[in-house]
Structure 1
Amino acid sequence: MSNSIKRAFTRNLGTICFGSLFQAIIKALRFFTGDGRKKSIIACIIDYILQIIEKLIGYLNDWAFTFAALTGEGFVQASRSFINLFKQRGWTAIINDSIVGTTLMFINLGIGIISAAAGGSIIYITMIQSPEKHIAVICVSLISFVIGIFMSSIITTLLTSCVRTVFVCFALNPAALGATHPEHLEKLTKVWHKFYPEEFTTSGYANQFKEPPVYSQC
């Protein structure tokens, strides 16, 4: 952990800054076109296009930063290596079908609702009966909801980065996972075989990792 933090603030600092520069430029352009959005339909179209570009750059940055952190490459080279690797391995469809982000979003929402219910219940039980009691319960519930989502999003953001790291590591060298955690490799290959048979065949690992046998249940 200490070596990763040290490298992030030294050798890979330029990679982080360079990747973030593109998003900063797009955000600045959107800011300048925002004033004329209500006056001109052209400005509205430009802002919409910039919004799409901003999301694409942000998506690419997330994966490029992960690849750069694992390999030590620069931002441009890491972006190219990441795209080429996942094209060769046939993992583009797998990334597009990833529901991790949606799942974590529902988790954040659920934690927010639980926090709101807990905060509102505490105020409702402990506060004496008064005309302001219901207002206080609503206010505390809303505040607890926001705090719950905020605190949960911190953890889920870390989990999202972990999932990206697993994607990249498994695409780079799945055999390394088998050397340390063979049971995890077996589970991943079984799921890969089951849900993405074509991608597994074109990935280049079909000969290395044979399809697990299917046992009939008695």
Structure 2
Amino acid sequence: NSDDDDNDDTGEGTIDRNMIWFLLSMIGSVIAVVSVLINVLLGALAPMLIQISLIVSPLMFFITFVGSLVILNIPVALFSLVMSIVGIYYACHVWHRIPFATANLKIALSAIQDNHGLWFLAYLYTVKAYVWTFLWCCAVTELVIFSPSWVYDCTSTSTNSSNNNNDDDDDDDDVCHVSTRGKFIAIGMLLSFFWSGQVLKNILHTTIAGVVGTWWFDPEDARSDSSRGNGSSGCFSFSCCGCSRAIYDSWYRSCVYSFGSICFGSLLVSVLQVVQFIVRCGRRQQRDQRRQQRSIEATDFIFCLLQYLVDTLEYLLEFINTWAFVYVGLYGYDYWTAGKEVTTLFKARGWSVIINDHLVARSLLMMSSLIGLITGLVGVLLGLVFLGPLYALPAFFLGLILGGASCEILFGVVTSAVNTVVVCFAESPNQLRINHDPQLSHDLIQAWRKAYPQDCGF
């Protein structure tokens, strides 16, 4: 028996060691694979990936159409055919804008390359978001499980069964429902969760906008020592992580001078997110009641309309915030002034069409999916090596999640930088030619003339 116990202990120790090696190898491999693939895909392959991102969607819908037609699923086949035609039309309509999107992406990557400490800052804020989510979950657990009197009103059912002499009386539970105070607490907790997440995201976005703006107008302040070829700085200096002075200054402005504007714009979005959550819960409750054969068909349309309105408002406000916070990061405007400046700029120059371009976002999404699949396959390989065949599927999903999360963090930096380049080019196109390689400005202007010949003002 003692030998068996020793074998069991040894087996458990081996599994634990293998699990540790697996996790360490997984994290290291994901970081390495993501870094290499991003450098490759965002380099010379960027134009091709933007083109592929426009082709993949209608192609997949067409394949679905053929497959549905074979199995005689006519509704799905018709829907897939319509979506395929729409995708083809959209691709043909925006195909000439690919060079402009590529030029914007190239300039944004040049700015990030000179300030690669932005990658470190993005991971830091992601860790902050995870820590905040953990603390928020702990607070919710404390309220719901350990302090239920704050949330629930409970009524004992023992009085209703006092005439029964069965032993089952001891098993009767209290009937509890969420109290009015509990509903207000739930709304407050949801608001705090969404608001904090929006603030963290927008601080990073505003900081990136400030850094790219400094790089555009004053490149010497937005260049790390490593990008200058100066490796003499010590490990305890500010530039040891690849951070330039512009990163610290932009981050300080975002967290101090522009913090109120960021919080206000984030609050508007978070309020809509809370309303969106409440409407979705209402629709779910309404479906449950309908399953119990209650005639409440009149509320179906109301909930559907409410969800559509809230979703649309939330999307529009998120879209406005994206560009407004670029101005907040560039010039330190308050939220309302930044929104007005963005609207005035695009209307005055006739560049309103540019905000409809999602080519870069589409290509980055496709890259994220591709990299996620590759890191998932790497996870399968590591799972087979360290843990065995039974862990192959969980290892795939772990690699997929880690790779997708890393891409979301890094590509978020790229998206913010691209948006800032668009605004800076609209504000001062000549500064790019004066302060940087003239070829960058020439390529961007030529691409703009091809994409928007009627709106080009130079």
Q: Output the TM-score relative to the length of structure 2.
A: 0.42
1:118 aligns with 2:118: no
Who is 1:184 aligned against? 440
Pick aligned residue for 2:399 from 144, 147, 152: 144
Residues of 2 paired with 1:95 and 1:24: CA distance? Answer: 23
Who is 2:283 aligned against? 37
Gaps of 5+ in 2: 1-246, 287-298
Greater shift after overlay, 99-108 or 41-50? Answer: 41-50
1:105 alignment counterpart: 365
Q: Deviations over 1:33-65 (max 9, x none)?
A: 233214232123102210110011001101100
In the superposition, relative to structure 1, how do residues 126 and 2 fare at CA in structure 2: closer, same or farther (>3 Å)?
closer
Report deviation, 1:125: 4.3
Which sits farther off after the overlay, 84-93 or 163-172? 84-93
Given the alignment of the two structures, is residue 7 of structure 1 paired with residue 267 of structure 2, yes or no?
no
Could you tell me which residue of structure 1 aligns to residue 412 of structure 2?
157
Question: Relative to 1, partners in 2 of residues 1:139 and 1:10: Cα closer, same or farther, differing over 3 Å?
Answer: same
- Letter matched to residue 153 of structure 1: E
Task: Tell me the distance in 1 between the aligned counterparts of 2:355 and 2:312.
Answer: 18
- Higher relative CO (CA 8 A, sep ≥ 6), structure 1 or 2? 2
Which of 176, 197, 203 is residue 453 of structure 2 equivalent to?
197
* 1-structure distance, mates of 2:329, 2:383: 46
Question: Aligned-pair distance for 1:194?
Answer: 1.4
The runs of at least 4 consecutive aligned structure 1 residues that moved more than 4 Å come to 125-128
SS of the residue corresponding to residue 454 of structure 2 reads helix
Deviations 1:137-168 (A, max 9, x none): 11101110011000111000000000011001
More displaced 10-residue stretch of structure 1: 191-200 or 52-61:
191-200
- Cα distance in 2 for residues equivalent to 1:127 and 1:139: 11
Letter in 1 for 2:392: V
Match of 2:314 among 54, 57, 69: 54
Q: Which has the larger radius of gyration?
A: 2
CA distance in 2, matches of 1:68, 1:59: 15
Per-residue deviation, 1:97:
2.4
CA drift of 1:176 comes to: 0.9
User: Which residue in the other structure is 1:214 paired with?
Assistant: none
TM-score (norm 1): 0.86
- In 2, distance between residues paired with 1:7 and 1:157? 20
Q: CA deviation at 1:126?
A: 4.9
| Partner residue in 1 for 2:264 | 18
Please report how far the alpha carbon of residue 82 of structure 1 lies from its aligned counterpart in structure 2 after TM superposition. 0.3
User: Which letter does structure 2 place at the counterpart of 1:152?
Assistant: C
